[in-house]
Structure 1
Amino acid sequence: MVAERRKGERVTFERGIGAHMMGIDGTWRRECTMDDVSETGAKLTVEGSVEGLHLKEFFLLLSSTGLAYRRCELAWVNGDQIGVNFLRTGDKKKKTMRRAQAAEA
């Protein structure tokens, strides 16, 4: 049994919710199913291979028009399932600043 690493309370969907993953630069797109979600992240089942895709940072599109989306970063991969962390505006800047401060110490 895998230990729960997510901080927030999770909502699990019986059949999953259809969604799409799309590269930040728009160069790739994959269909996926959102199996569960929390305030901080989600578990996705990806259709097709994720090999060669830039998953460091991407969009999870939750609507067919693309109006509902979350900016994500890859947390883990297990076969066709991936875990993602949701990024908030400014998250990348904060992480970069923390790394720079740690390097100075």
Structure 2
Amino acid sequence: MSWDKRKAKRVKFEHEHRATLLGADGTWRRDCVLLDCSETGARLRVEGSPDVLRARHFFLLLSQTGLAFRRCELVRLDGVEVGVHFVSGSAAV
């Protein structure tokens, strides 16, 4: 299955952009690298066990202080690479 099925234009990064995944309930966190991103979602490489992502809903912290973040829903899990959809406003659970 291809990673290129996103309708929104994606941006690929030349340099490594570090981020953090945080469980919606705050009980777990995983460091990750942002591989590419669009207005509607992103592709990430997760460090450590990706098993906790099966919870399906979590936050992507884009800054060290946590002030820039996106609520995410798991779309695809392929080894250590993860595809997420950004959940907005009324669609959030």
On whether the aligned pair clears a TM of 0.5, the verdict is: yes
Percent of residue pairs bearing the same amino acid type: 51
Q: Is the strand fraction higher in 1 or 2?
A: 2
Distance 2:59 2:32 in 1: 12
CA separation of 1:92 and 1:64: change in aligned 2, threshold 3 A: closer
Q: Does 1:14 align with 2:14?
A: yes
**Residue type at the aligned position of 2:74:** L
Contact 1:41–1:86 at 8 Å: present in 2 too? yes
Q: Which residue of 1 aligns with 2:71?
A: 71
**TM-score of the superposed pair, with normalisation by structure 1:** 0.81
- Please state how far the C-alpha of 1:56 moved relative to its aligned partner: 1.1
Structure label with greater radius of gyration: 1
State the distance in 2 between where 1:4 and 1:84 align: 13
Alpha-carbon distance, 1:4 to partner: 1.9
User: 1:16·1:36 contact (CA, 8 Å) conserved in 2?
Assistant: no
Question: Does the C-alpha gap of structure 1 residues 84 and 11 become closer, same or farther in structure 2, counting only changes over 3 Å?
Answer: same
Matched, 1:4 2:4: yes
With the length of structure 2 as denominator, give the TM-score of the two structures: 0.91
The residue aligned with 2:44 is 44
Count how many residue pairs are aligned between Structure 1 and Structure 2. 93
Query: What is the aligned-residue RMSD (CA, Å)?
Result: 1.7
5+ unaligned residues in a row in structure 1: which ranges?
Answer: 94-105
